[in-house]
Structure 1
């Protein structure tokens, strides 16, 4: 497991999440604006239909047909705007960001599996990870101790004479 790879994948994941959120936010704002405008036009359509009903009670001919037609046109415009606002976001940017996001998540999962195998290997066989690090210092300590414990022949004769 390489920590640089993990950091790189986390940065890519964070950036793509930001891009995806930005693209979705732009689409949400645009569709919200269109829906608000469609709601306003629908309100005007309802007002016109109410005005048409009023004119129907007051007079029976010209003002009624004009207000009713205007109200129906307003409702049709509102329906068209709602249909446009309901379309899902299109674009290569969102597809690319989603693809990069999924590849970085996959790479992080691979790194996590590698870490898991290293940790489980260290738990099952702890000397396998420590032994290569300890071999060289242990060999040097053993060699130094062997050199110290092996007495020189002249030193052994002088030590024997001192004891007598």
Structure 2
């Protein structure tokens, strides 16, 4: 994401309150995401995946489907997008952030994302979206530098502090 794209995204977040503009839907959409750490202490790593459209680094996330709650969606998205089997940790979402989902064929959508902490149970070599995405474990500080959304950076920092304290 270029500096111009980041600036545009930030300006869009402020613009949505009064004038959503022609490309941004006014109503906020809900998504669910998963944060998976491995290792301990300062050697702790966070899993990131690439988005399908731009190849930027993100955490597994997506829409909450009918019959699911946010935790169920986080587990499903982690499997589909990253090939990991995980278990949601107790306590509900570890954080949330807001971003603008840019879509070519439809209006852009303002999304509120609840982030759930998952315990890694298994990592598979093949998964539903393995041809469309890359996955990689990064040191937490590196991961924070790679994600574009400032809100997600904050959630990662807070989650890491929580994991370190446990």
Alignment TM-score, normalising by the size of structure 1: 0.16
Higher strand proportion, which one?
2
Higher helix proportion, which one?
1
Alignment TM-score, normalising by the size of structure 2: 0.16
Larger Rg: 1
